[in-house]
Amino acid sequence: MNGTGPAGNGFEQRLGRLLIVVTYAAVALLAIGVVLLLLAGISPLSGGPPLDPARLVSDLLALDPAGFLWLGILVVIATPLSRVIGAAAGFIGRGERLMAVVSLAILGVIAISVVTALATG
Amino acid sequence: MVVALSLLAGGAAAGLFGSLLGLGGGVLLVPLLTLVFGLDLREAIGVSLISVIVTSSAAAGVYLERHVANLRLGMTLELFTAMGALVGGLIAFLVDERWLALLFAALLVYVAITMLRAREPAPDDVARLPPEPVDDSDRHVEPPLTTDLASFRAAALAHLSGDTYAVRHLGRGVAGSAAAGVLSALLGIGGGIVKVPLMHIGMGVPLRVATATSNLMIGITAAASAVIYLIRGEVDPYVTGPVAIGVFVGASLGSRAAHRIELRVLNLLFVAVLLWTALQMLLKALG
């Protein structure tokens, strides 16, 4: 049976809260980007700029909609990853070796996705 | 401004109806973005994957807090959906877009048929819902490491089972999850349409737990392929922003309104819309 005693519940509750908080942070960033997009009068179908990590901070400081939208998208993708990282830490702390290995393997698959896309893109 | 607001409204409609009808937003979003807004199919899939992560993450957070989702089962299966999504994400860039459109048309027909045949959850599903835990000890038991495969499998299944139900047929779950991952990456959908029946009918998980656990898995499934679409330049931030916000708002409204709305008529209306959309996608596939 899976761990649903108080310790298990607290662990899952923390993971749930983490997911909610990071999701709302991502939605807030996207919402700011959309408002800036509307204020700038840019047509969304005109084609947005590609992701350039080097420009992200300067775009944010300049209140460029692309900066907020890209950061929001990156936080969206990072949201489920943060849950897996949190779960991995929790499983390691609770001595659940098998689930810790599963968590780390999931992160490994995501890393392979990134590397493969970069290599073949 | 009109286009941005239209994308916002379109996303909200997809999120609202998707939530009301128990579909992921992706099934509705991809045809909307390609047929109405004229987006390239792969670009629409990239946008859809990001939107799917937003809505599923919010829902999964609530399900985890309420102890409805089975975290260990979800994480075990999502390892394989992520692998499937990685493969699907790579295949998506190798096949002609017309094949993707054809596959999407087939998916829409399948969803329409599933909706027509849908029934209310069986009473035993409600009876088998996990109760609020009352145990005052942490009952986690690590499956023992053993060279006896059968013993290990039995221990692992027990480890993944809930308090009031036993998970079975893990191999079936693994294979089905990998297939759901491939489909998710190819078509920009969450894959719940495969995962929920797989866990419920195929693995003995109560419907509500299967739905919650599927939501938990969708985030990683979509993230595994979304990074491929993003790195290959198929995620446009200007389109993704309004659509994702719209889907998030629409899905939130839908989850609050679902129990107040008579869904039978809406269901039938939607089957007609899905079949019409399938026809349009088929025509797109045929050029």
The pLDDT tens digits of the residues spanning B177-234 come to 999 999 889 888 888 888 888 898 889 999 889 988 998 899 999 999 999 999 999 9
**d(C-alpha B52, C-alpha B25), whole Å:** 6
pLDDT mean over A104-113: 95
pLDDT tens string A27-46: 999 999 999 999 999 999 98
The phi, psi pair for B24, rounded to 5°, reads -75, 160
**d(C-alpha B285, C-alpha B287), whole Å:** 5
Instruction: Write out residues 81-140 of B within 8 Å (CB-CB) of A.
Output: 82-83, 85-86, 89-90, 93, 130, 133, 135-140
The closest of B230, B18, B187 to B115, measured between CA atoms, is B18
Is pLDDT of B132 > 60? Answer: no
**d(C-alpha A63, C-alpha A51), whole Å:** 16
ipTM over 0.85: yes
Of B57, B75, B224, the CB nearest to A102: B75
Please give the helix or strand (H or E) that residue A101 lies within, else none.
helix A97-120
Classify burial at B84, counting beta carbons within 10 Å of its beta carbon; exposed 0-12, middle 13-18, buried 19 or more. buried
Which chain B residues are Cβ-neighbours of A2 within 8 angstroms?
70-73, 140, 159-162
Is pLDDT of B164 > 50? Answer: yes
- pTM beyond 0.80, yes or no: yes
CA atoms within 13 A on the CB side of B13: 13
Question: Cβ A66–B238 below 8 Å, yes or no?
Answer: yes
pLDDT mean over B249-265: 76
The closest of A59, A113, A102, A36 to B49, measured between CA atoms, is A113
Is pLDDT of B136 > 80? Answer: no
Instruction: Write out residues 61-90 of B within 8 Å (CB-CB) of A.
Output: 61-67, 69-73, 75-76, 78-79, 82-83, 85-86, 89-90
Is pLDDT of B39 > 50? Answer: yes
Token representation of residue B136:
């005052």
- The mean pLDDT value of chain A amounts to 90
Question: Cβ B79–A109 below 8 Å, yes or no?
Answer: yes
Tokens 């969708």 found at: B218
| A7 close to B (CB below 8 A) | yes
* Torsion, Cα of B127, A19, B201, B26 (10° steps): 130
Contacts of A93 (CB under 8 A, 6+ apart): none
Question: CB of B55 within 8 A of CB of B247?
Answer: yes
Question: CB of B169 within 8 A of CB of B202?
Answer: yes
pLDDT tens string B40-93: 999 999 999 999 999 888 888 888 888 889 999 999 999 999 999 999 999 989
Question: Cβ A12–B67 below 8 Å, yes or no?
Answer: yes
The CA distance from B134 to the nearest CA of chain A, in Å, is 8
Task: Say what the pLDDT of residue B133 is.
Answer: 43
Question: Cβ B241–A69 below 8 Å, yes or no?
Answer: yes
Is pLDDT of B124 > 70? Answer: no
Tokens 């942070």 found at: A25
What is the maximum span of chain B, computed from C-alpha positions, in angstroms? Answer: 64
Token representation of residue B59:
């829902």
Of B8, B223, B239, the CB nearest to A77: B223
Token representation of residue A11:
């662990």
Nearest residue on chain A to B226, alpha-carbon basis: A77
Classify burial at B135, counting beta carbons within 10 Å of its beta carbon; exposed 0-12, middle 13-18, buried 19 or more. middle
Question: Cβ A87–B75 below 8 Å, yes or no?
Answer: yes
Render A21-76 in DSSP notation, one character per residue. Answer: HHHHHHHHHHHHHHHHHHHHT--GGG-PPPP-GGGHHHHHHTT-HHHHHHHHHHHH
Ramachandran area for residue B20 (φ above 0: left; ψ -120 to 50: alpha; else beta) = alpha
Question: Cβ B241–A72 below 8 Å, yes or no?
Answer: yes
The closest of B53, B1, B31 to B191, measured between CA atoms, is B53
Is pLDDT of B249 > 80? Answer: yes
pLDDT tens string A60-93: 999 999 999 999 999 999 999 999 999 999 999 9
Task: Say what the pLDDT of residue B59 is.
Answer: 87
The CA distance from A58 to the nearest CA of chain B, in Å, is 17
Question: CB of B275 within 8 A of CB of A83?
Answer: no
Which chain B residues are Cβ-neighbours of A109 within 8 angstroms?
79, 82-83, 86, 224
For residue A100, which amino acid is it? A
**d(C-alpha B177, C-alpha B214), whole Å:** 10
pLDDT mean over A103-107: 96
Measured in whole angstroms, the distance separating CA A43 from the mean position of its chain's CA atoms is: 26
B275 versus A108: which is more confidently predicted? A108
Question: Cβ B244–A30 below 8 Å, yes or no?
Answer: yes
The CA distance from B78 to the nearest CA of chain A, in Å, is 7
